[in-house]
Amino acid sequence: MNKRVLLFLFCLATLNIFSQEILTKKEALKITLENNFGIKIANNNLKVAKNNSSIYNNDYLPTVSVSSGANYSKNNQTVTPQTGDPVSTNGAITKSYNASLNLNYTIFDGLGRKYNYQQLKEQYNLSELQAKETIENTYLQLFTVYFQIARLTENKTNLAQALIISKRRLKRASYQYEYGQTTRLELLNAEVDVNNDSITYINANQQLRNAKRDLNFILGVNKDINYVVETNVDFNNIMNFSDLQQKTMANNSLLNQQKKNIVINEFNLKINKSSYIPSLGFNSSYGWSKSDNENLANPFSPLSVSSNGLNAGLSLSWNLFDGGSTKTNIANAKIAFENQQILLDQQKETIHNSLKNTWDNYQNQLFIIKAQEKNVITTENNFNRSEERYKLGQVTSIEFRQAQINLINAKTAFNNAKFDAKLIELQLLQLSGDILNVNF
């Protein structure tokens, strides 16, 4: 590629950068944390878990209620005394009123509410871990698409360079054909190569546009896709496998969630066992009542009665036998607790195997990057030599085209290897629970 073409491409790239917004990794991450739908739902679920773990949801506080009422009755009455004649009246009216303030409090319930409160606290901690996992998955999803855009951007640049070279070759073949220095077959081959390179470039551009729309969905915004992303790739200094494995077993989100499920099921077992223990309650009320009577058949009945006062009491309950339901619940809670421990062991093995495979892939990919980088240098030197010899008529257009294809393939392979390695690195960081600490 001569200096004029390089200068043209540099100017074109510069103009594109200035005309397009640059969406940095940090800015993409900030937008995602604020607008991503999954993260919003996870945060709302965390708020619900916090409300559930409040002291207001655990029967630790007394209940206070107010009740009142009024009754009116109008009846016909007949009173028959032991001696004498019956006495009848029509329209005997009775009016009654009442109001009371009631307080109830459970003093002791067999430790059930204590374990329930602790269980809800652990469920809140579990919700925190679930929200953390959602954010980690969103991180990985975000940068998978972000680096895909970077990959397609660099591939598109390589294809644009290849198209310029093919067009230049077509122009040269056209001049040579006009002056009888080449055959029509040579010209047609050059036209076909330009068409193929144009189609490849158009497809790459469409893939890039689609990837940007996918990124907008993760960002949670309806953003114009006329922006560019950072294409630089910086690798983190990942520790050796032994340290990475230790960190994974301590910080992996899925493992920590499963450990929390074991604790929650342990409290569930204790809650069921608390049904064997008696409970003690306290109740108190302050009440007022009044009754007015009119036109009663019994002349000795009072015309008006009113009362008010304080009442208090204790209640003790002990479920001696409930038909075996408590025993069944305890047995099932024990089985559920054992299952959670088995799931933890299974998950440890699964994550351990996944970590090994991802680590090996990462090491292989780092080697591939170095090998592909050398291939780019070699194929670039070969292409430059082929281009000079093509101008001198020492190689055929087919040989020159092959050198061009080799260069495109080498650059694409190096580009893919670079971004593949970065994505595998992010997977390692997610497994070790360290992806949220990455400084992009």
Query: DSSP for 90-136?
Result: EEEEEEEEEEEEEEEEEEE-TTHHHHHHHHHHHHHHHHHHHHHHHHH
Mean of pLDDT over the chain = 88
pLDDT of residue 8: 47
> Domain containing 416 — which CATH number?
1.20.1600.10
Instruction: Say yes or no to pLDDT of 17 above 70.
Output: no
How many domains are contained in the chain?
A: 2
For the stretch 414-426, pLDDT in tens is 999 999 999 999 9
Distance from C-alpha of 106 to C-alpha of 280, rounded to nearest angstrom = 6
- Strand segments, DSSP code E, in 223-371 are 227-229, 279-294, 304-317
Closest CA to 245 of 235, 255, 236: 255
Determine if residue 183 is left, alpha or beta; phi over 0 gives left, psi from -120 to 50 gives alpha, anything else beta.
beta
DSSP label at 86?
-
For the stretch 257-306, pLDDT in tens is 999 999 999 999 999 999 999 999 999 999 998 887 666 555 555 566 78
Out of 270, 297, 315, a domain closes at 315
**pTM, to two decimals:** 0.82
Q: Which residues pair with 309 in a beta bridge?
A: 287
Same-domain status, 190 and 47: yes
Out of 315, 339, 367, a domain closes at 315
pLDDT of residue 87: 67
What confidence category does residue 14 fall into, taking pLDDT thresholds of 50, 70 and 90?
very low
pLDDT of residue 178: 83
Closest CA to 399 of 189, 255, 248: 189
Q: Contact, 118 vs 269, CB < 8 A?
A: no
Q: Contact, 204 vs 156, CB < 8 A?
A: yes
Same-domain status, 262 and 404: yes
Same-domain status, 124 and 103: no
For the stretch 335-374, pLDDT in tens is 999 999 999 999 999 999 999 999 999 999 999 999 999 9
DSSP label at 305?
E
Out of 293, 315, 337, a domain closes at 315
Instruction: Say yes or no to pLDDT of 66 above 50.
Output: yes
CA angle 220, 221, 224 (to 5 degrees): 145
Same-domain status, 425 and 296: no
Least confident residue range of 84-93, 225-234, 400-409: 84-93
DSSP label at 334?
H
For the stretch 86-106, pLDDT in tens is 767 776 777 888 999 999 999
Same-domain status, 305 and 388: no
- Which residues have CB under 8 Å from 66's CB, separation 6+? 99, 100, 101, 102
For the stretch 127-173, pLDDT in tens is 999 999 999 999 999 999 999 999 999 999 999 999 999 999 899 88
- Which residues have CB under 8 Å from 129's CB, separation 6+? 253, 256, 257, 260
Cα within 13 Å of Cα(179), Cβ side: 6
Give the mean model confidence (pLDDT) for residues 233-253: 89
For 225-256, letters b (16+ CB in 10 Å) and e give eeebbbbeeeeeeeeeeeebbebbbeebbbbb
pLDDT of residue 13: 47
Q: Contact, 146 vs 152, CB < 8 A?
A: no
Residue 47 burial (CB count, 10 A): 10
Same-domain status, 197 and 299: no
Instruction: Say yes or no to pLDDT of 379 above 90.
Output: yes
Q: Which residue has the higher pLDDT, 34 or 12?
A: 34
What confidence category does residue 182 fall into, taking pLDDT thresholds of 50, 70 and 90?
confident
Give the mean model confidence (pLDDT) for residues 224-233: 90
Q: Dig out the tokens for 413 from the structure.
A: 């392979």
Q: Contact, 140 vs 427, CB < 8 A?
A: yes
Same-domain status, 79 and 201: no
pLDDT of residue 7: 47
Q: Contact, 146 vs 233, CB < 8 A?
A: no
Q: Dig out the tokens for 356 from the structure.
A: 């090994």
Same-domain status, 84 and 207: no
pLDDT of residue 81: 67
pLDDT of residue 236: 83
pLDDT of residue 15: 45
N-term to C-term CA, the chain:
34
Same-domain status, 292 and 338: no
Distance from C-alpha of 313 to C-alpha of 101, rounded to nearest angstrom = 14
State percent of the chain over pLDDT 90.
Answer: 68
- Which residues have CB under 8 Å from 104's CB, separation 6+? 62, 63, 281, 282, 283, 284
Say which amino acid occupies 301. S
Give the structural domain span for 387. 3-59+109-278+318-437
Question: Residues 376, 382, 385, 390: what is their CA dihedral angle, to the nearest 10 degrees?
Answer: -110
Same-domain status, 20 and 92: no
pLDDT of residue 78: 67
H-helix or E-strand spanning residue 76:
strand 63-79
What confidence category does residue 2 fall into, taking pLDDT thresholds of 50, 70 and 90?
very low
Same-domain status, 269 and 405: yes
Same-domain status, 145 and 89: no
Distance from C-alpha of 161 to C-alpha of 6, rounded to nearest angstrom = 9
